[in-house]
Amino acid sequence: MKVYLLTHEYEDEFGEKIKFIGIFSTVEMAENVIMSLKPKPGFCDHPEGFEISEQTLDLVGWQEGFDKW
């Protein structure tokens, strides 16, 4: 089953800011949420920061682990 993860991301002088908005069953629902949030504080200064990513439920997306620095 496909779901759609909605985030809002931008970078400022303090670093990267990422807000997890929600998980939606359709792209259209995620797009409607974007339209409702764009004029609001925290989003209106970075309207290009929204991202919808398609995800598959019950699928491990990162199996390799992390490299040590």
Give the pLDDT confidence of 19-65 residue by residue, as tens digits: 999 999 999 999 999 999 999 998 999 999 999 999 999 998 777 87
Task: Give the per-residue pLDDT at 1.
Answer: 93
Residue 62 in domain: no
Domain span at 49: 2-54
pLDDT at 40: 97
Quote the pTM value.
0.84
Domain count, the chain: 1
Residue-level pLDDT at 14: 93
Name the residue with tokens 């490299």: 67
pLDDT averaged over the chain? 94
Question: Which residues, 6+ apart, have CB-to-CB distance to 15 below 8 Å?
Answer: none
Q: Is residue 67 part of a domain?
A: no
